[in-house]
Structure 1
Amino acid sequence: MAIAAALTLPVMWISAADLAAPKFAWARRFAAYGHLVERELLQAAAFIRGRSHPGDTLATSGLSSGYVAVDPPTVLVALSATPSYLARPWVHLFQGRARADVARTRFNALTAIEHTPDRDTALQQLREIKVRWYVATAFGAPSWDPGHRRSAFARGNIAVYDALP
């Protein structure tokens, strides 16, 4: 029995990559992305998850209105269990006029908040749209704290701001 187990282990080790590969034909095209989540984004998600309460919402800087398979809000929602104010805006543009209008309004609100000149005004605007957690995904953003010095959490190019007073 021990000999059989010892002989099976190398075969399992060699085929481990195959076990991790997508099993469904439709998923294979996404495997080419080789998407790895930045360590700092993982840490930010853990920070939010550890402090978030029911009803909290998160938002991020630097959203793209173009196609992206995975964006920071999608990752943060998956890892923090906190809903996002807006993720992958392009998806909503093709789901009917009402949904597209909401996505555009939210995209514009987040863009305005990112470029607000002072932190207090930005945090007030986040509270008005009912966003508690704001995640800056690039050093230099948001304009009201480009060095991430006034964030609740900062690692690398990622910073988390808590909009609660």
Structure 2
Amino acid sequence: MTTPNETTEILNRPLSREMLARDITRLAYVAKDGTPRNVPVGFSWNGTEIVMCTALNAPKLAHLRQNPAVALTIDTEVHPPKILLIRGHAELDVTDGIPDEYLEMNSTYQMTPEQRVEWEAGVRSLYHEGMVRIVVTPTWAKLIDFETTLPSAVEELIQQQAERQASDS
């Protein structure tokens, strides 16, 4: 586990900041029946929290109310992959109208100004009753770049390999 200071240090690294500027995270949570769920969702980072927005009737909300523990994965599609893993607890904030974060998190999609106006009008019509902000304050983080940081199991195997090679010498 990381301490709050270690978590902050990890999230402030340049690569983490780059990852936190991406569009999509994978939100993992536990459903009411005890089985895991993992859904891709748009997000924004405000410097201390990850904010995701969803419909008032989204099934994940009932699960998050019952068990707010979540894990997030933000990663790249290149080799070697860059992966930011985050854990925390979801707080649900019901809003009137469309949260600013929802409009901001979708601003990186390539749209013409006309498409953007049409998209925003559609969003406002669809979610006219409001949305729910899912707010996660990170309590744990790990950054894996496969160059300077590795998954802990791989680090352990490399250490064992080095020990074997040293004993064979």
What is the TM-score normalised by the length of structure 1?
Answer: 0.23
Higher-strand-fraction structure = 2
Higher-helix-fraction structure = 1
**Bigger relative contact order, structure 1 or 2, given CA contacts below 8 A and separation 6+?**
2
Structure with bigger gyration radius: 1
